[in-house]
């Protein structure tokens, strides 16, 4: 794992902000539904989730998107639960459409958390999102469908990727989950650095230096595995708690960062050293993992942190999705 860590030194001084230095070695992705923040920090891609969309939908400047989703779907004559479901899907896509007017790359749109264990449901939802984006003139190459990293989620991703629908596997906390995604040929994974650290901090009752952060170490392990065994799936570190975690993963394929932490990185001009590189990662002393469904479920079960944080994440995203539903329903 440690062999994946580069040792090249950063320049002695630089006029560039840490954010701009990171952009030279890692694709920067904004973790927000706030268009103003996207314009301010100029990321390549953007990610959303139910929590971020719920927060943004309540902001006065984005209320017009809620109104638009309701008005457009009422034209169909549908009512009740069917109307609500249609408005919810349309609202997520409308936010994505607006985001793609700002970022040059891709946007991630999340599937319903209550479909996390429903392979067929995930496939149908992804196809639905792609069709809605197509109706707005946006091709599938600019869309990433976010799916929770359950076994069922990996199976859905395998089908979708064969159809040319790219998937962003989220709520990922372990090597077993990462390997399942790579073997499904998912386009991208989002290991949750900060949530891993949260679990170990609570369990061991101590703080961790960025270089020893369990979440950072988890991403380094996955990075080493992917590069050593030639997996094309991209790795995007996510859910950061501090700038130190981000800097320890400089060189990762992508990093998705909140506007607050982007702001911190933009204010500092301290040198940034590259910590991950494909060349050194290929020498990682890590064994190939032979994985099938039984092996996956066993390894996942044996990892208390991954089991607990994945389940918790699904519950929390579902809770925020329900809040968004109630917000929309009140306007219907």
Q: What are phi and psi of 229, to 5 degrees?
A: -100, 10
d(CA 38, CA 29): 9
Closest of 168, 109, 246, 217 to residue 225, by C-alpha: 217
Angle between helix 214-228 and 193-204 (nearest 10): 130
Predicted local confidence at residue 50, as pLDDT? 82
* Residues classed as catalytic: 146
What is the domain partition of the chain in residue ranges? 2-331
Q: What are phi and psi of 276, to 5 degrees?
A: -125, 135
Predicted local confidence at residue 115, as pLDDT? 98
pTM of the model: 0.92
CB neighbours of 256 closer than 8 A, spacing ≥ 6?
A: 29, 30, 31, 45, 47, 190, 236, 237, 238
Q: Does the domain at residues 2-331 carry the CATH identifier 3.20.20.70?
A: yes
Task: Please write the tens of the pLDDT for every residue from 141-192.
Answer: 999 999 999 999 999 999 999 999 999 999 999 999 999 999 999 999 999 9
Structure tokens at 52: 């971020």
Per-residue pLDDT in tens (0 to 9) along the chain, 332 residues? 444 444 455 444 458 999 999 999 999 999 998 999 999 999 999 998 888 899 999 999 999 999 999 999 998 888 889 999 999 999 999 999 999 999 999 999 999 999 999 999 999 999 999 999 999 999 999 999 999 999 999 999 999 999 999 999 999 999 999 999 999 999 999 999 999 999 999 999 999 999 999 999 999 999 999 999 999 999 999 999 999 999 999 999 999 999 999 999 999 999 999 999 999 888 888 999 999 999 999 999 999 999 999 999 999 999 999 999 999 999 88
Angle at 89 between CA 83 and CA 93, to 5 degrees: 140
* HEC secondary structure over 75-94: CCCCCHHHHHHHHHHHHHHH
Task: Please write the tens of the pLDDT for every residue from 274-317.
Answer: 999 999 888 888 999 999 999 999 999 999 999 999 999 999 99
- CA distances (Å), 60 to each of 32, 55, 63, 84, 313, in order? 16, 11, 5, 21, 28
Predicted local confidence at residue 284, as pLDDT? 83
d(CA 314, CA 316): 6
């Amino acid at each position: 794992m440690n062999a994946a860590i580069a040792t090249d030194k950063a320049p002695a001084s630089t006029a560039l902000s840490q954010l701009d230095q990171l952009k030279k070695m890692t694709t920067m992705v904004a973790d927000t539904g706030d268009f103003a923040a996207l314009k301010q920090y100029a990321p390549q891609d953007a990610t959303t989730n139910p929590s971020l969309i719920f927060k943004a939908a309540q902001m006065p400047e984005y209320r017009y998107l809620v109104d638009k989703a309701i008005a457009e779907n009422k034209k169909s004559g549908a009512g009740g639960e069917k109307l609500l479901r249609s408005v919810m899907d349309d609202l997520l896509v409308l936010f994505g459409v607006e985001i793609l007017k700002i970022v040059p790359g891709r946007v991630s749109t999340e599937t319903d958390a209550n479909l996390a264990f429903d392979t067929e449901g995930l496939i149908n939802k992804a196809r639905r999102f792609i069709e809605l984006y197509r109706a707005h003139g946006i091709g599938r190459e600019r869309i990433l469908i976010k799916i929770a990293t359950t076994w069922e989620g990996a199976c859905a991703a395998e089908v979708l990727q064969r159809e040319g629908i790219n998937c962003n596997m989220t709520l990922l906390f372990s090597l077993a989950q990462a390997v399942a995604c790579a073997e499904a040929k998912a386009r991208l994974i989002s290991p949750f650095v900060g949530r891993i650290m949260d679990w170990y901090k609570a369990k061991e009752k101590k703080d961790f230096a960025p270089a020893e952060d369990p979440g950072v170490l988890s991403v380094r392990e996955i990075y080493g595995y992917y590069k050593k065994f030639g997996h094309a799936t991209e790795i995007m570190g996510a859910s950061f708690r501090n700038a130190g975690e981000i800097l320890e993963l400089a060189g990762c394929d992508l990093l998705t960062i909140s506007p607050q932490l982007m702001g911190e990185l933009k204010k500092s001009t301290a040198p940034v050293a590259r910590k991950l590189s494909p060349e050194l990662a290929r020498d990682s002393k890590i064994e190939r993992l032979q994985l099938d469904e039984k092996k996956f479920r066993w390894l996942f079960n044996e990892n208390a942190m991954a089991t607990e944080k994945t389940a918790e994440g699904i519950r929390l995203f579902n809770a925020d999705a329900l809040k968004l539903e109630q917000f929309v329903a009140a306007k219907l």
